[in-house]
Amino acid sequence: MDFKMEAAKAIAAAANMNIDEIIDIIEVPADTKMGDLAFPCFKLAKTLRKAPPMIAKEIGEKIEKSNMFEKIEVVNAYVNFYVDKLKFVSGVIGEVLVKGEKYGESNVGEGKNIVIDYSSPNIAKPFHVGHLRSTVIGNALYNIYNKIGYHSISVNHLGDWGTQFGKMIVAYKLWGDKEAVERDDVKELSRIYVKYHEEAEKKPEMDDEARSWLVKMQNGDEEAISLWKWFCEISMKEFNRIYDRLGIKFDSYAGESFYNDKMDAVVEEIREKNLLKESEGAQIVDLEEYNMPPCLILRSDGGTLYPTRDISAAIYRKKEYDFAKCLYVTALDQNLHFAQWFKVVELMGYDWASDLVHIPFGLVSLQDSKLSTRKGHVVLMEDILNSAVERALNVIEEKNPDLPDKEKIAEKVGIGAVIFNDLYNSRIKNVVFDLERMINFIGETGPYVQYTYARCCSILRKTGKEKISEEIDYKIITDENSMQVCRTIGQFEQKLIDAANKNEPYIVSRYLVDLCQEFSGFYDNNRIVGSDEDTMNARAAVVYAVKTVIKSGMSILGIDCPEQM
């Protein structure tokens, strides 16, 4: 039952307005004493040329009563609607029972493709904690968009080409050992890469040698290509090991090298559209008119740059996927880069340039130190995951040492804690890792939400109500604690839509914490185990609905929920 739509219809008829205008204005009051839905009349004051309280009074007098609402009352500039409790709880819980884990799905994006470019680590460099943000934010957005009807396409735009490979080849030929690389994989490649930068500061001519190896790669030199492919294979083994633990897969791994044979045509197109200018030997697109530095398309030696590849990739993706949106989940400090080449795509005459969206995020750090690969101050992602899982296992050993499969559960709890910690705040905020706070079963954490899920599973096992009877006496769950849980459950679909509109997964994670807190109040004030059959069945239905939404919401964030903890 769509109470919001019913309220909008009533207001539209009373105020002679369009329903679409009204439905966007209706809000959910923070205090339920002010109703379950409220229509503020401030926005109508200008067009109707009346004071908002007068408008509210006139609408209140004309509005037709509906059996979906217990009462409708006017308070100052607000028209407040109080839902019929019995209809409301039966509508919310009944829908969850019917739809199960499909509850919350919508068709907002039906028939539309959305490409999401995220993670994108560099080959021959370790997957460090700095990659986590792009990976988990992108994965959550991928799932959110799928849930509201879009067809999401995940792209891991691997950093598998460029000058760094020339440097890597030089480093390997100087200090590399095949057995060491095969034994220690990317860690050994990273060690010699860091050493290269240390030595190149003393011997700048090493950079010339690195550039010459890149030219060899571009010209298809057998040794250069063979080493490059080997570095890629070694790196992907580590990356896939991390992705498997995080439960993340990609639809495409087309990295920078994929566009090598596509850039000449794009450069020629930019030239034909009279956008290219020469500047100190390089080819640029002048963006001074748009208050931006020039966008470099070709270096003075004819080599391509990141904007060239990104423009080529965008054109390819539009042709291949015909996206409604293409999202790029990268760090905040890349804002200018994306603004520049987005503008070039627009100047090329592509109206879909407005569908390219940069999704920036803040830094991630340990002990407030910015991570740096070149200097070797890098915290490996695998080390973070291992530490989190170990800490989770220690807590389980302390609190529930006889728990079956505790190692597997610790894996879910530890990794879930890392992901949830990252997704709990607005993505633009910096994230500092504090394992002790993250692996806490009390507070606004992943383990707290997982524990609530496990608690729901335990209650249903104890009541024998793992399958809820359809014969529910909904009057039993119209008390305020039950109503509050149902109100929160009923917000799930809209929270997903809001998260997609703002590209903010934290809307989902904070919603789940709110749901868990409301459930705690419900559980503390409503006896379930040991109550009479009708009461137990009705309250178990609420528990089942909470369990279902938690599992679905956590899955969207990329987190698995154990049934016992």
Selecting among 4, 125, 216, 406, the annotated active-site residue is: 125
- Residue 192, classified by CB atoms within 10 Å of its CB into exposed (0-12), middle (13-18) or buried (19+), is buried
157 is known as an active-site residue: no
- Beta-sheet pairing, 69-75 with 78-83: antiparallel
Neighbours of 563 (CB within 10 A): 15
Helix (H, G, I), strand (E, B) or coil at 285: strand
Selecting among 33, 57, 85, 128, the annotated active-site residue is: 128
The owner of tokens 């965008």 is 314
Selecting among 4, 85, 131, 412, the annotated active-site residue is: 131
* Residues 221 and 174 sit within 8 Å (Cβ to Cβ): no
| Cβ neighbours of residue 100 closer than 8 Å, sequence gap 6 or more | 548
Nearest C-alpha neighbor of 333 from the set 370, 298, 299, 379: 370
Helix (H, G, I), strand (E, B) or coil at 229: helix
Among left, alpha and beta (phi > 0; psi -120 to 50; other), residue 279 is beta
- Measure the CA–CA gap between 497 and 508, rounded to whole angstroms: 10
- Start-to-end CA distance of the chain, whole Å, equals 36
- Beta-sheet pairing, 282-285 with 69-75: unpaired
DSSP letter assigned to residue 1: -
- Measure the CA–CA gap between 524 and 562, rounded to whole angstroms: 23
The owner of tokens 């007068």 is 54
Phi, psi of 424 (to 5 degrees): -80, -25
- Measure the CA–CA gap between 512 and 243, rounded to whole angstroms: 24
Neighbours of 134 (CB within 10 A): 23
Nearest C-alpha neighbor of 519 from the set 473, 482, 490: 482
- Measure the CA–CA gap between 459 and 444, rounded to whole angstroms: 22
- Residue 222, classified by CB atoms within 10 Å of its CB into exposed (0-12), middle (13-18) or buried (19+), is exposed
List, as own/partner pairs, every contact residues 278-287 make where C-beta atoms lie below 8 angstroms and the sequence separation is at least 24, other chains included.
285/344, 285/347, 287/340, 287/343, 287/344
Helix (H, G, I), strand (E, B) or coil at 252: strand
Nearest C-alpha neighbor of 59 from the set 11, 109, 121, 108: 11
131 is known as an active-site residue: yes
- List Cα–Cα distances, 513 to 61, 187, 495, 508, 526, in angstroms: 40, 38, 13, 9, 20
- Measure the CA–CA gap between 116 and 356, rounded to whole angstroms: 10
229 is known as an active-site residue: no
What is the token pair recorded at 191? 């060690």
| Residues identified as active-site | 125, 128, 131
